């Protein structure tokens, strides 16, 4: 689930004109109605799913609801447990850390998908698990490190 929004091009630009809601069933050329079309999850579709789950089809209406709504959406994404959300007058501020810049971008896209939010300050930092180049592994002696003289 980590690669939930991991595409190279954004799959979303704005909320659909219907606002929050599910994608309509597909109509075939012969007039038959097929099952709903499911593609890769997008920020608006995730927001719509959370809105339905919370019983808020129109989405959050105040700052506290926005914060709670975003936390509910972040529960569905792995790697977002260290994200803090604060909202004041429709301006959301994200702080904390995530493991990949893709997750940082995805969290920002989810918040931007809320129509009531008019500004997002994404202050998330990337907490890399990689060792720095030239670092010394445990148990190894660093090159040019002072060594003890042996008598």
Look at residue 91 and tell me if it is in a domain.
yes
Structural domain including 121 reads 41-126
Per-residue pLDDT of the chain (151 residues; tens, 9 = 90+): 444 454 444 333 344 444 444 444 444 555 555 555 555 678 998 899 999 999 998 889 999 999 999 999 999 888 999 999 999 999 999 999 999 999 999 999 999 999 999 999 999 999 976 655 655 556 556 566 566 666 6
Question: What is d(CA 69, CA 121) in angstroms, rounded to the nearest whole number?
Answer: 17
Residue 104 belongs to some domain of the structure: yes
Rounded to 5 degrees, φ, ψ at 128 are -75, 140
Please indicate, yes or no, if residue 113 is contained in any of the structural domains. yes
Examine residue 80 and state whether it is found in any structural domain, yes or no: yes
Residue 136 maps to a domain: no
pLDDT of 16: 43
Would the CA dihedral through 12, 17, 23, 25 be positive or negative? negative
Say what the pLDDT of residue 90 is.
Answer: 93
Distance CA 83, CA 124 (A): 7
**E runs forming strands in 2-150:** 25-27, 33-36, 83-88, 91-98, 119-122, 125-126
The count of domains in the chain is 1
Please tell me the predicted confidence (pLDDT) of residue 17.
42
Does 75 map to a domain?
yes
Candidates 21, 45, 31; CA nearest to 110 is: 45
Pair type for strands 33-36 and 91-98: unpaired
State residue 41's pLDDT score: 73
135, part of any domain: no
Q: Residue 66: inside a domain, yes or no?
A: yes
CATH number at residue 63: 3.30.1340.30
């Amino acid at each position: 689930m980590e690669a939930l929004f991991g595409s190279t091009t954004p799959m979303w630009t704005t909320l659909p004109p219907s606002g929050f809601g599910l994608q309509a069933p597909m109509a075939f050329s012969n007039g038959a109605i097929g099952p709903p079309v499911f593609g890769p999850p997008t920020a608006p579709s995730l927001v719509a799913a959370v809105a339905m789950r919370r019983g808020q089809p129109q989405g959050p209406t105040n700052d506290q609801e926005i914060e709670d709504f975003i936390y509910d959406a972040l529960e569905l994404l792995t790697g977002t447990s260290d994200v803090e959300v604060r909202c004041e007058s429709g301006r959301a501020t994200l702080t904390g850390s995530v493991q990949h810049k893709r997750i940082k971008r995805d969290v920002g896209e989810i918040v931007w998908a809320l129509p009531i939010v008019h500004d997002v300050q994404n202050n998330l930092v990337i907490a890399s698990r990689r060792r720095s180049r030239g670092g010394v592994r445990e148990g190894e002696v660093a090159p040019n490190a002072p060594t003890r003289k042996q008598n």
